[in-house]
Chains A and B, each alone.
Chain A
Amino acid sequence: EPEVTQTPSHQVTQMGQEVILRCVPISNHLYFYWYRQILGQKVEFLVSFYNNEISEKSEIFDDQFSVERPDGSNFTLKIRSTKLEDSAMYFCASLLAGGPVTGELFFGEGSRLTVL
C-alpha cells in the first residue's frame, strides 16, 4: 500500500540551528501539506503546496519556515533558525486531488523535532 514516508524520525538540534525535514509523498499525489503537533496539543496546519508553490499557510508559518519540492519526489520543510517552541512532531501529508476538506489526506508517521 502506498504511503507517505518521512525522515528523520527524530532529530535533536540546538536552538538557532537550521533543520530540514524530508517527506516523500505518495507518487501520484498532487497536493502536499505540513502539519505540526506539539506534545499533548492539537494538530496544527502549517502550509499547503500545489503546482510547485505555496497555496496557503498559517500564521505559524513565518519567515523562519520554507518548503520546497526540489526534485519532483521529495517535499521538504526547512526551519532556518530553530527556537525552543519549534519542538513538536511534524507531519507531512499528501492528497491525490480535490483538497483535504473532502478528499482523503494521507499522513506520514511524523518527524519528532527536539530543540535544546
Chain B
Amino acid sequence: TQLLEQSPQFLSIQEGENLTVYCNSSSVFSSLQWYRQEPGEGPVLLVTVVTGGEVKKLKRLTFQFGDARKDSSLHITAAQPGDTGLYLCAGGVSWDNLFFGTGTRLTVIP
C-alpha cells in the first residue's frame, strides 16, 4: 500500500504569511494531485502534476512535483482566511486509483 505523508499535519498562521505544505512518499507516482476539502464537503481538485520537476501556479498557490515523482509541495503566498481548509495530496499509480495523503489542516487567522 502506497503511503503519502503530509507535513505539517496542522498549521495555523496569520493572514499575509507564506507557507509550504509537503507531501512525501517512498513510492513513485505517475501523477500527483492536490485537493482542498471544506468541512462537510467532498474534496475539490486544485491541480494535477504529471512530470517530474513540474511547477504549476494557481494564483497565490504554487505546486511542485519532485524530480523523482515521489514528493510534492504546495506553497501559498500571502495566505488569506479563505485559504483555510484541509489540503490533501493524492498520488496516482494505476490509471484507476488514487492514494490520498494524510492531510494538512490549515487555519489562516485574520
Whole-angstrom CA separation of A71 from B97 in the bound complex: 25
The stretch of A13-21, A37-45, A74-82 that contacts the partner chain: A37-45
* B: contact size bracket: 20 to 34
- The answer, among A42, A48, A58, A102, for a CB contact under 8 Å with B31, is A102
Most buried by A among B31, B92, B95: B95
With a cutoff of 8 Å between Cβ atoms, the chain B residues found around residue A93 in the complex are: 42
* A: contact size bracket: 20 to 34
Known: A93-B42, A109-B41. A102 touches B50 (CB 8 A): yes
Known: A42-B103, A107-B42, A107-B43. A102 touches B96 (CB 8 A): no
Q: B residues within 8 Å of A by Cβ?
A: 30-31, 40-45, 48, 50, 88, 90, 92-103
Q: A residues within 8 Å of B by Cβ?
A: 4, 31, 35, 42-45, 48, 50, 55-56, 58, 91, 93, 98-102, 104-110
